[in-house]
C-alpha cells in the first residue's frame, strides 16, 4: 500500500494507501487457451497452495491484529495459508515479534519489508528477532515512488539502499521493489543485481482477476497480471515474480462508523469496490489466474480490514466475509502435503468451450486430477453499482484413458461449495463465473513394452 505518515489511536506510525491519478481503461477480451484434444502436464496440487499468501499488520495497535492476536492466529490457521507479509519495524510494539513467531506452529512463515533508514546491522539482525525458521525473505521499503518514508529523491535513495540490503541479507532471498505507479519501474531501472525475485502490486480495481490493461479511480497500481509482470521485468529482468499486494475492497457504501472500529472511524465509499458476495466469486480465481500467469506467489491484501478501508477477508470486528470462506475452501481442497512427486500428463478433451473460459489442471499424489474451470468475465459493474449476469456454458469433458471416478465441486457466492457426483465417461459440466473443480481419476496406462 502507498505509505503516508499517520499516528493511529494506538499510537503507532502506520503506512496508509494514497491516491494518484488513474490510467485509461483498456478493455480487452481474453482468449481461450484450448479448444480440442490435448495432453497436458498438471501442476502439483500442493504447490498451488504454497503459492498463496496474505498480508497482515500485526503492529497496527488500534486493530484486532494487535488487540486480539489469538483471533488472528486462529483465522490464519483456519484459512490455511503458509506465508504472511508484514513490515518489520525496529520500534515495533511489545509482542510483535513473539506473535509472528507463534505462527510458525501453524506452518506459517513471514516475508518482511524493511525501512530505508535501517542500518546494515539492523538488516542482518531481523531474522534473529523471530523464532528460528520463521523469517523467509526481505523486501525493500514499500512503494517508494509515492512514499514520503523513502525521502527525496526516492530513486537515488532506493538505489543507495539496495546494495546494503543485499549485502546483509545472508541466506534469505531479497524481493525487488514494489511501486504504486507504472511510471516507477522505468525511473528506477534494472536492480536485479541486488534482488532475486521481481515484485508487483496489481490490484484489481473492482474488475475480474483476468481483466486486461490498467484501470481504477484514483489508483494507478490497478494493473492486470500481464502488465504488472511486464513492469516487474524492467527492474528484475529474468527473475521470477511475486505479487505482494492484490485484492478487493468491499467499501460499496459510506458508513459513518466503520465496523469494528471506534465511533468516528469512517469507512468512505470507494468507487473501485465490489460487494462481499462478488468478492467471494472472484477471490479463488485470483491465485488460480496468478498461477496460470506464472506468478510465483500471490499475497492477498489483506486478512483484516484496517481503519479507512475494507480490503480484509475479515471485517474490522473479526467477523468472516464470504471471500474468506471461498479462499479457505480452495486452499484446503488443494492441500496435499508431502515431498514433490512425478505428475502424470492427462490426455483429455473439452468440447463446447468459449473464448472467456479458463482452466487449470492439477494432480494430487494419489493420482486424482482436479480440473478447474471458470468463465473469466466480470460479474459486477462498478460504474453502475449493479450485477452483470453471465450465462453459463455447457461443456463436455472426456479422457483418452477410461475414466474411473468423477465428481464436481462448485464455489458459490456465499463462500460455500456444492458437490455433485458424476457418472464417469462423457462429463456434461456447466461452467460459469464461479470456479468449478471437476475431480476425476483415469485407469492406469498399460506398461510400455521393453
pLDDT for residue 111 is more than 90: yes
The pLDDT value given to residue 406: 98
Question: What does the chain come to in residues?
Answer: 450
Q: What is the mean pLDDT of the chain?
A: 89
Return the bridge partners of 197, or none: 175
Residue 145, all three cell numbers:
515512488
The pLDDT value given to residue 319: 98
pLDDT band at 9 (very low <50, low <70, confident <90, very high): very low
pLDDT for residue 16 is more than 70: no
The residue with greater pLDDT, 385 or 76, is: 76
pLDDT tens for 344-373 read 999 999 999 899 999 999 999 999 999 999
Phi, psi (degrees; rounded to nearest 5) at 348: -150, 170
pLDDT tens for 239-298 read 999 999 999 999 988 888 899 999 888 888 888 899 999 999 999 999 999 999 999 999
Contacts of 96 (CB under 8 A, 6+ apart): 58, 59, 89
What's the whole-number mean pLDDT along residues 193-221? 84
The residue with greater pLDDT, 165 or 12, is: 165
**% of the chain beyond a pLDDT of 70:** 89
Alpha carbons 249 and 245: distance in angstroms, whole number: 12
The pLDDT value given to residue 433: 97
The pLDDT value given to residue 294: 97
The torsion region of residue 213 among left (phi > 0), alpha (psi -120 to 50) and beta comes to left
The residue with greater pLDDT, 86 or 448, is: 86
pLDDT for residue 29 is more than 80: no
**What's the distance, CA 259 to chain centroid?**
24
CATH for 346-442 (3.30.1490.20, 3.30.450.30, 3.60.70.12, 2.60.40.1180): 2.60.40.1180
All structural domains of the chain with their residue ranges: 5-29+45-334, 346-442
Alpha carbons 111 and 88: distance in angstroms, whole number: 9
The pLDDT value given to residue 173: 98
pLDDT band at 221 (very low <50, low <70, confident <90, very high): low
The pLDDT value given to residue 24: 24
**% of the chain beyond a pLDDT of 90:** 78
pLDDT for residue 22 is more than 70: no
What's the whole-number mean pLDDT along residues 28-32? 31
CATH for 5-29+45-334 (1.25.40.10, 3.20.20.80, 3.30.310.50, 3.40.50.2300): 3.20.20.80
pLDDT band at 120 (very low <50, low <70, confident <90, very high): very high
The pLDDT value given to residue 217: 55
- Model confidence, pTM: 0.90
Alpha carbons 178 and 186: distance in angstroms, whole number: 12
Domains 5-29+45-334 and 346-442 share a fold: no
The pLDDT value given to residue 18: 29
pLDDT tens for 33-47 read 344 578 999 999 999
Amino acid at each position: 500500500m502507498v505509505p503516508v505518515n499517520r499516528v493511529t489511536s494506538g499510537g503507532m506510525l502506520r503506512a496508509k494507501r494514497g491516491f494518484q491519478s488513474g490510467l485509461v481503461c483498456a478493455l480487452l477480451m481474453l482468449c481461450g487457451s484450448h479448444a480440442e484434444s490435448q495432453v497436458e502436464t498438471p501442476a502439483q496440487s500442493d504447490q498451488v497452495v504454497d503459492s498463496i499468501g496474505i498480508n497482515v499488520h500485526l503492529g497496527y495497535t488500534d486493530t484486532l491484529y494487535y488487540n486480539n492476536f489469538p483471533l488472528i492466529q486462529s483465522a490464519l490457521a483456519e484459512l490455511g495459508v503458509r506465508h504472511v507479509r508484514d513490515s518489520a519495524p525496529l520500534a515495533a510494539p511489545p509482542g510483535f515479534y513473539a506473535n509472528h513467531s507463534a505462527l510458525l506452529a501453524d506452518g506459517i512463515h513471514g516475508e518482511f519489508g524493511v525501512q530505508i533508514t535501517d542500518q546494515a546491522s539492523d538488516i542482518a539482525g531481523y531474522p534473529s528477532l523471530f523464532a528460528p525458521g520463521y523469517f523467509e525473505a526481505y523486501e525493500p521499503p514499500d512503494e517508494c515512488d509515492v512514499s514520503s518514508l523513502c525521502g527525496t529523491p526516492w530513486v537515488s535513495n532506493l538505489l543507495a539502499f539496495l546494495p546494503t540490503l543485499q549485502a546483509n541479507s545472508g541466506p534469505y532471498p531479497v524481493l525487488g521493489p514494489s511501486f504504486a505507479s507504472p511510471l516507477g519501474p522505468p525511473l528506477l531501472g534494472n536492480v536485479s543485481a541486488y534482488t532475486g525475485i521481481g515484485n508487483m502490486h496489481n490490484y484489481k480495481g473492482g474488475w475480474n482477476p483476468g481483466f486486461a490493461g490498467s484501470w481504477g479511480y484514483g489508483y494507478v497500481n490497478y494493473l492486470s497480471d500481464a502488465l504488472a509482470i511486464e513492469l516487474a521485468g524492467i527492474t528484475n529482468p529474468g527473475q521470477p515474480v511475486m505479487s505482494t499486494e492484490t485484492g478487493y475492497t468491499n467499501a460499496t457504501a459510506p458508513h459513518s462508523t466503520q465496523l469494528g472500529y471506534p465511533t468516528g472511524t469512517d469507512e468512505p465509499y470507494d468507487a473501485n469496490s465490489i460487494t462481499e458476495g462478488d468478492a467471494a466469486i472472484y477471490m479463488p480465481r485470483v491465485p488460480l489466474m496468478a498461477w496460470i500467469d506464472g506468478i510465483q506467489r500471490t499475497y492477498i491484501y489483506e486478512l483484516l480490514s484496517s481503519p479507512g478501508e475494507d480490503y480484509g477477508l475479515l471485517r474490522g470486528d473479526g467477523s468472516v466475509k464470504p471471500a474468506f470462506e471461498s479462499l479457505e475452501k480452495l486452499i484446503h481442497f488443494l492441500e496435499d502435503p508431502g515431498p514433490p512427486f512425478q505428475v502424470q500428463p492427462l490426455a483429455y478433451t473439452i468440447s463446447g468451450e468459449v473464448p472467456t473460459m479458463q482452466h487449470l489442471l492439477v494432480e494430487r499424489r494419489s493420482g486424482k486430477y482436479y480440473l478447474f474451470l471458470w468463465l473469466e468475465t466480470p460479474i459486477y459493474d462498478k460504474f453502475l453499482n449493479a450485477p452483470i449476469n453471465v450465462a453459463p456454458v455447457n461443456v463436455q469433458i472426456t479422457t483418452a484413458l477410461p475414466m474411473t471416478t468423477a465428481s464436481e465441486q462448485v464455489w458459490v457466492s456465499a463462500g460455500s461449495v456444492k458437490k455433485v457426483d458424476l457418472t464417469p465417461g462423457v462429463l456434461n459440466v456447466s461452467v460459469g463465473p464461479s470456479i468449478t473443480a471437476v475431480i476425476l481419476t483415469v485407469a492406469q496406462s498399460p506398461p510400455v513394452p521393453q
